Amino acid sequence: MNLAMLHAPDGGARAMPADLASLDAWFDRRLEEKIAERDAARTKSLAIIATKGTMDMAYPPFILASTAAALGWNASIFFTFYGLELLKKDLSIKVSPLGNPAMPMKLPFGPEWLQQTNLPVPNFVAGNLPGFEGFATAMMEQTVKAKGIASIKELRDICIESGVRLLACQMTVDLFSHRQDEFIPEIAEWIGATSYLAEAQKADVCLFV
């Protein structure tokens, strides 16, 4: 059987491999090319599950989602349990040094050598010294401002303007007796875990923060 020429759908002839082995290889290449074309044309997506309501843990979901949106991806964040604090109109979030021994404590002021020095803070100090959480929060806020990094509210606004879908966990709202009017109006949906998992399953990247 001569497979050197096959008719194309438009009635013309197209050069094809003359033996079966070469034909298989040709079809494999064409399949890979078509898959690559499809992947290049498809919009990538990012799904983030945000569970923490502290200042230090608020940055990752908003930074990652806003970056994905800037790259042209479809991005969404599902806020559940304490992560719902990040969607409140009145943002009152703090740094929690307790149980976070890897957190570097650096002063945002003073000589350069001092600012570059990690200050080890034992858990018994972080947990028992009155006002230490407020102190750590103030230090973080000053450091963020000094480095020119956006605040949590600014990052949240960037996400909203960039089209990131902000989703609230309805079960958590019911669990903690929240009211929907406590939260920003830009929340896209109030849904449960089942609904979001169906969306996250289809995402190119899914992260749990």
* The token pair that represents 112 in the structure block: 């350069």
* 50 assigned to some structural domain: yes
Mean pLDDT of 131-158: 81
Q: Is residue 6 assigned to a domain?
A: no
Do the domain assignments include residue 204? Answer: yes
For the chain, the domain total comes to: 1
Give per-residue pLDDT as tens, 159-190: 999 999 999 999 999 999 999 999 999 999 99
pLDDT in tens, 31-58: 888 777 777 777 899 999 999 998 889 9
Strands 189-191 and 45-50: unpaired
Is pTM, for the whole model, over 0.85?
no
110 domain-assigned: yes
Give SS3 for 157: helix
Flag whether 12 is in a domain.
no
Cα–Cα distances in angstroms (integers) from residue 50 to residues 18, 73, 86, 207, in the given order:
57, 18, 9, 9
CATH number at residue 73: 3.40.1260.10
Q: Which domain holds residue 187?
A: 45-208
- In terms of DSSP bridges, do strands 189-191 and 74-79 run parallel, antiparallel, or are they unpaired? unpaired
d(CA 146, CA 188): 33
The mean of the pLDDT values for the chain is 81
97: in domain: yes
Tell me, yes or no, whether 148 lies in a domain: yes
